[in-house]
Structure 1
Amino acid sequence: MQITKLHSFIFIILILFNQQLFSQKYADKPTDARTNYGIFANVGLNLHSASFKGLSGIPSCCPRYETGNGLGYNIGTFISFPLSQDFELSFRVFYNDLSGKLTKIEPTYVSDLNGNGTQGEFEHSLNATISSVGLSPLLSFRLTDEFAISAGIRAGYILQKAYSQKETIIKPSWGTFEGTNSRTRNERSGTIPDASALDISGVLGASYNLPISQNYEWYLVPEAYLSYSFLPVANDLSWNIITINGGIALKYSPRAIIPPKPLAPPPALPPLPSLPVPPQEPALAATIVAKAVDENGRESDVTILKVEEFLGMRMHPILNYIFFDENSSIIPDRYIKLNNEQKNQFSDKLLYNLPTLDIYYNVLNIVGKRMSQYPQAEITITGCNSDENKEKGNIQLSNQRANAVKNYLVNVWKIPESRIKIANRNLPSTPSTPTDPDGIVENRRAEITSNIPQIFEPLIIRDTIRESNPPIIRFKSNVKAEAGSEKWELTVSQSKGPIKIFKGIGQPPSVIEWDLAKEQENIPRFDEPLLYKLEVIDKDNKRWASNVQQLPVEQMTIEKKMNEMLADKEFDRFSLILFDFNKFDLNEANLRIAEFAKKRIKKNSTVSIKGYTDRMGDENHNLQLSLKRAQSTAKILGVDFKYVIGLGETLPLLYNNDVPEGRFYCRTVNIEIVTPIQ
């Protein structure tokens, strides 16, 4: 019975303690610099570096001790003081084990009693037992809130300085030393003669703070240190110790607590006591609002999102390059690689709803599928390199890149090796600028060419095109987080689930743009409101979520237009890529696309032609180059230049310019043909 009462008492005390812990408010942030206390324990590898034949006054036949090692440990306690938000000064009181064993194998010639000689080996060993206690001041710099590097000194007093030595016959297995009748000699032990009384060393280190309490006061700190002794083990010998320590520290970092407001004195009777003051709301708030952005970048209030369906055709050009990482011949993971079962299911139809770059990442499978369909097709794979730094003149790397592509087509798509030729060179025949960092990356590639055009014909998709008005939704956020924002998430959804999720670490951007014109797959499909909300979690793990806001959606489907006999139109969209460097003339591949597009133009069609470039090169030059490329296309189509525009590297860029394929696809001319349906 008494035991049960004791358990109940302890349980109540723990509840009260936890309530007090989690009700506390702090005057500082979890990552602010504070005074710290702690203990540490490390395991060390002691590397002894020497150059002596023996200890002073101790018989030894060793030709020269040079190296040795041993395992030690380092334990102690510490205190640290912040000098600023990034720098802190710490003092460590330590006990350090620096022991190690030096050995030397001496080849020699030995003989037996009959005078017969053979090669032998003597082992000279010197065991040193060394330890010290002392103080280590360290200056630390925080590279991040968790990771810090340190430098300082270790100053200690040598407690143990003992040794034991002996010389042993290793080879041959028979025989003894002359005059000893033993296989060992010069066995000695004692205190190291003329041993240094002090341990003075330089220290470098690194540590990482891992919080283990919700209030960020207790941490486990993995740490590693390298030290080099400035003083020799013995004053008359060349004998120093390098120590590599690694271990863990337990750190207590108390935070400043905001004292609770004093309770108001109880009112005089008979009036009833006043109600307690309600707890303060967390200092975390935010707002989110949606705005409309038209094709010219003008912002306005948005009251409804209109979505209209059109019949249309899109033509996606296929880039015939495979890009590689620096000094690597491994096909990067962003390229889609299939197994045998997936290969059998692969079809162009699986690519219809994918964005342009996602279609490109299937290029190896497109080539494999088309070579299976056209048995007369042969290809040449030319491996290239950037011809600089690690890749300078590395023809072997170029060959390995070409063979990586070939092996995939042979092993997965079962293309006979006789239909694939391998070539290699340093820079490509038409290289990107080799002095520009982006150009260097683009030259690390394998180029695939074919004897028939069908292998790299553009992917033609005839399906339903959906357009939104406005084409861009701009979400504007305003977040105030006293403790700092840890992470955020903006979710846009309809009743069937999320359509688009934006998320990130730290403070949410003030402007989040949703470019629906570039994301056909994410345009809302249901005639119901679009729902959006913003969630924020601060660094004290407090969560805030906005009210779910609605944006009405109006769908105008092809079926609805037919039933109501409304006017409709058909969209055809084409892209021309792979213009030669700094050229605006259309090459053979682009001419085929242009001629195909020309046949789609009717008398009542409206044609717009837009030229683009990537981020490389001078902005004004790129603007003129994109215009000339668009005008060259207009000439082939027979379209007036008034329907032509050059946009250069106007932001936002069409595709991700941090990858080489994104830059190639940005060097394009886009043709849009809109034809009313009679």
Structure 2
Amino acid sequence: MRIFLPFLIFLVIYNLSSAQTDTLRTRYSLLGGYMMNYHTADFRALPDVPNCCPKFTDGEGNGIMAGVGIGFPIGYDLLFNMRMSYLNHNAVLQREEATNIINQGVSEGGSFLHEITPRISTVGIEPSISYRLFGELFLNIGGRAGVLLSPEFDQKEQIQNPSGATFADGSGGNTGLRIRNQVTNRTLPNAQLLQAALIGGISYELPLNNKRSFLVMPEVSYQYALTPLVQNLTWNVNALRMGISFVYQPQPTIEKERRYKKIYRRDTTERKMRIPAVRVMLVDTKQSSSMTEDDSTITTTTTIAEYYERQVPLPPSVLIPAISAFGVNKEGKESTIAELIIEEFRSEYYHPLLTYIFFDSTSASLPSRYKTLTEQQAVMFEMKALRGMKALDIYYDVLNIIGSRLVAYPKATITLTGCNSDNGVEKANKDLSSKRIDAIKSYLESVWNINAYRIKTVVRNLPEKSSNPLTSDGMQENRRVEIASSIPEITDVVNTNDTLRITNPPLIRFKPSIVSSEGIVSWKVTVSQNGIVLMQYNGTSNPPTTIDWDIAKSQATIPRYDYPITVTIEAKDIEGNTANQTITLPTNQRTLAKKKNDKSGDKLIENYGLILFDFGKSTLSERNLRVTNFVKGRLKPNSTVTLAGYTDRTGNLQINQRLSGKRAESAAKSIGRPDAQQKGIGQTELLYDNTTPEGRQYCRTVQIMVETNTP
């Protein structure tokens, strides 16, 4: 402060000697300063804080102030200011109380000192008006609205004299203490958080450069409080404020003459289009600007580039889509279609039930793809709900199927064998195998109410008949729990019946073609019946030469009504032109009801599946022999049998094809029809998703179809 004061005096003297009135400008300021705080009071004690003081009346202290502000000229000599400030209002309130003190039975004169030391800071805004009195001297009048920041206080009551005196306790005993009612770092009770005050003072501007863009502005002001520090208590905080602001006010800009120039540049290209006559079109405009400046002028030059297109008529466009349809029989031979025959047959499905439950790596939680029920839902579960579902979809209900069968056969027991991949984290981890058993056992006990004594458990690492533990697929398949039963009825095939719909021909081959002079953007072939879309094919560029609709692969897309099938091809070319062609195919629905009325005869179609063959072998397991023996007993002299063997994606293509053929041959011999039609398809046609272990297991199958004519 001693160093700064001479510098400030020098600036004032220098400014007075070269003072000139300047037009007021928008300004930004940083404030720092010192405060002399004057507390006025009229209270005996703070709320809920014991104090024996007769009355506190005043107190003094000091603090700092800091702030940032902005000012706007609102007249030649007037500024409107807005400042955000931080203030310290610290002080000490003291009251000396004269009293008589009984010291060792003798009354003598003494005194108490009552003291409250508040620690108070506020953050607030200070709107004000500054009026230039003359030269650089301003009168400032305004106000302040602030918010208390965590107000605290200390308090004590101390015996000043005599020096040896101490306070007595409630019963008159000596406490040995010269201080009582002491409080430290206590939050000020019932503090008035919002503090308002009036502010008045003067300030003086001292420029630091010729352009007066930087100023030093000392100021003195008095702050008079309008609100008490504590609610319902007379205690106000006033202050004499002394500070210095460092002010920045941007240099006013000098208005220069503005000049504008425009430069046009034009370019034209030619394009052939589908239009009736030649025309010239503005297709694009680009604009760029540059600016040059000297002492008196600012010149803006705008360059406008215009791009025109001369559009020349094209010859008439050609867009002709066409489509034809042919029937393809089982041997792959094409023929024209007189009509599409859809015939209904009674069918029986005997789906093999895979009794392996597969788990994710290192997990003992039942994967979400397996269907689970609540105890109430289990009561309502019926096997007929599985009607029309594929084998793999039925498999995901395996725990509910086994649970319902255990309920139906109360004397039956099952054995759960928990396994792991015996690789990596699962290496020799029988505890994980045991937890996997617990997941299934808990479900059967809690949902299906199967007594624990009916469920035996076996814990091991790799399964007895494990898959290759070194491959990803093999490790997937080894992470499982196997379910075996004391009677075959628990894990037997799942029998469902349905109405099978077969078309003749089984496949329709579409041959689309599009003639276009402009090029094709998109095409679409829609197959529908009576407004219902059965299939849809689409693409860009040219369509393929043939599109096969394999009707036999999906019962959902087989036409269901005695209405013609509509086939529409739509095409769109580069120019946005569209065209279409539609053909119709007659249908002949031979439903079960029609055949019964016509007494034209019918046939029963039965489908069986064999799974769980040993690796690389074609011999039939005990479970599979149970199925083939059942098939053998169902055969009639007029029954026609077809067998097809399949494998998953694992292994060599040719080896898998031969192996699947041998398995089909073994099944044919087992049912007593070694001369039945049989083929090994192998992995050339994957029946299910091979990314899951159950999908691969169900692909390793022999499917048996038996067709028997019935009256």
Q: Place the TM-score, normalised by the shorter chain, in its bin.
A: 0.5 to 0.7
User: Percent sequence identity over matched residues?
Assistant: 44
**Which residue in the other structure is 1:609 paired with?**
643
**Which residue in the other structure is 1:627 paired with?**
661
SS of the aligned residue for 1:599 comes to helix
Deviations 1:575-618 (A, max 9, x none): 11111222212111111111111111122222223322222222
The CA distance in 2 between the partners of 1:586 and 1:563, in whole Å, is 43
RMSD after superposition? 4.1
Equivalent position amino acid for 1:667 in 2: R
Which stretch of the first structure deviates more once superposed, 411-420 or 369-378? 411-420
Shift of 1:651: 2.9
Matched-pair contact (CA < 8 Å) for 2:347–2:604: yes
The CA distance in 2 between the partners of 1:390 and 1:259, in whole Å, is 70
Matched-pair contact (CA < 8 Å) for 2:565–2:585: yes
Equivalent position amino acid for 2:623 in 1: A
Shift of 1:393: 3.1
TM-score (norm 1): 0.52
Matched-pair contact (CA < 8 Å) for 1:630–1:644: no
**Which residue in the other structure is 1:304 paired with?**
339
The CA distance in 2 between the partners of 1:610 and 1:581, in whole Å, is 18
**Which residue in the other structure is 1:656 paired with?**
689
Q: Please point out which of 352, 369, 378 is paired with 1:334.
A: 369
Q: Does 1:446 align with 2:481?
A: yes
**Which residue in the other structure is 1:675 paired with?**
708
The CA distance in 1 between the partners of 2:443 and 2:519, in whole Å, is 54
**Which residue in the other structure is 2:438 paired with?**
403
**Which residue in the other structure is 1:325 paired with?**
360
Q: Please point out which of 407, 414, 421 is paired with 2:449.
A: 414
Shift of 1:378: 2.1
Shift of 1:279: 11
Change (3 A) 1:431 1:279: farther
**Which residue in the other structure is 1:468 paired with?**
503
Q: Does 1:264 align with 2:278?
A: yes
Change (3 A) 1:642 1:411: same
Equivalent position amino acid for 1:382 in 2: T
Shift of 1:563: 2.2
The CA distance in 2 between the partners of 1:384 and 1:369, in whole Å, is 25
Deviations 1:60-90 (A, max 9, x none): xxxxxxxxxxxxxxxxxxxxxxxxxxxxxxx
Change (3 A) 1:338 1:265: closer
**Which residue in the other structure is 2:397 paired with?**
362
**Which residue in the other structure is 1:578 paired with?**
612
Equivalent position amino acid for 1:590 in 2: N
The CA distance in 2 between the partners of 1:603 and 1:280, in whole Å, is 71
The CA distance in 2 between the partners of 1:337 and 1:534, in whole Å, is 45
Matched-pair contact (CA < 8 Å) for 1:304–1:553: yes
**Which residue in the other structure is 2:589 paired with?**
555
Change (3 A) 1:625 1:483: same
The CA distance in 2 between the partners of 1:520 and 1:673, in whole Å, is 19
SS of the aligned residue for 2:675 comes to helix
Q: Please point out which of 364, 388, 391 is paired with 1:353.
A: 388
Equivalent position amino acid for 2:682 in 1: E
Matched-pair contact (CA < 8 Å) for 1:561–1:568: yes
Structure 2 unaligned blocks of 5 or more: 1-267, 281-310
Change (3 A) 1:489 1:265: closer
Q: Which of the pair has more CA radius of gyration?
A: 2
Deviations 1:312-349 (A, max 9, x none): 32211111112233333333333223344543332111
Deviations 1:514-563 (A, max 9, x none): 4433433443222222345578999x9x9989666543321112222232
Change (3 A) 1:546 1:409: farther
The CA distance in 2 between the partners of 1:609 and 1:397, in whole Å, is 41
Change (3 A) 1:360 1:265: closer
Equivalent position amino acid for 1:618 in 2: N
Structure 1 unaligned blocks of 5 or more: 1-256, 267-275
Matched-pair contact (CA < 8 Å) for 2:520–2:572: no
Shift of 1:260: 7.4
Change (3 A) 1:495 1:602: same
SS of the aligned residue for 1:375 comes to coil
The CA distance in 2 between the partners of 1:545 and 1:675, in whole Å, is 49
SS of the aligned residue for 1:584 comes to coil
Q: Please state which structure has a larger fraction of its residues in strand.
A: 2
Change (3 A) 1:665 1:421: same
Equivalent position amino acid for 2:705 in 1: E
Change (3 A) 1:327 1:596: same
SS of the aligned residue for 1:670 comes to strand
The CA distance in 2 between the partners of 1:387 and 1:501, in whole Å, is 48
The CA distance in 2 between the partners of 1:594 and 1:522, in whole Å, is 32
Matched-pair contact (CA < 8 Å) for 1:324–1:332: yes
Equivalent position amino acid for 1:635 in 2: K
SS of the aligned residue for 1:625 comes to helix
Change (3 A) 1:311 1:408: same
Change (3 A) 1:293 1:374: same
**Which residue in the other structure is 2:351 paired with?**
316
Equivalent position amino acid for 2:646 in 1: Y
Deviations 1:408-429 (A, max 9, x none): 3333333333333333322221
Matched-pair contact (CA < 8 Å) for 1:624–1:646: no
SS of the aligned residue for 1:655 comes to coil
The CA distance in 2 between the partners of 1:464 and 1:620, in whole Å, is 36
Deviations 1:10-63 (A, max 9, x none): xxxxxxxxxxxxxxxxxxxxxxxxxxxxxxxxxxxxxxxxxxxxxxxxxxxxxx
The CA distance in 1 between the partners of 2:549 and 2:391, in whole Å, is 17
Matched-pair contact (CA < 8 Å) for 1:383–1:398: yes
Deviations 1:287-306 (A, max 9, x none): 77655333234455545321
Equivalent position amino acid for 1:605 in 2: S
Shift of 1:379: 1.9
Equivalent position amino acid for 1:655 in 2: Y
Shift of 1:506: 12
Which stretch of the first structure deviates more once superposed, 417-426 or 662-671? 417-426
The CA distance in 1 between the partners of 2:409 and 2:643, in whole Å, is 34
The CA distance in 1 between the partners of 2:650 and 2:615, in whole Å, is 11
SS of the aligned residue for 1:336 comes to coil
Matched-pair contact (CA < 8 Å) for 1:491–1:498: yes
The CA distance in 1 between the partners of 2:320 and 2:377, in whole Å, is 48
Matched-pair contact (CA < 8 Å) for 1:329–1:401: yes
Deviations 1:361-401 (A, max 9, x none): 22122112212222222222222222334433333333333
The CA distance in 2 between the partners of 1:600 and 1:382, in whole Å, is 34
Q: Please point out which of 618, 624, 634 is paired with 1:590.
A: 624
The CA distance in 1 between the partners of 2:407 and 2:662, in whole Å, is 39
Shift of 1:447: 1.5
The CA distance in 1 between the partners of 2:360 and 2:323, in whole Å, is 40
Change (3 A) 1:560 1:632: same
Matched-pair contact (CA < 8 Å) for 1:386–1:443: yes
Change (3 A) 1:521 1:457: farther
The CA distance in 1 between the partners of 2:663 and 2:269, in whole Å, is 67
The CA distance in 2 between the partners of 1:454 and 1:406, in whole Å, is 19
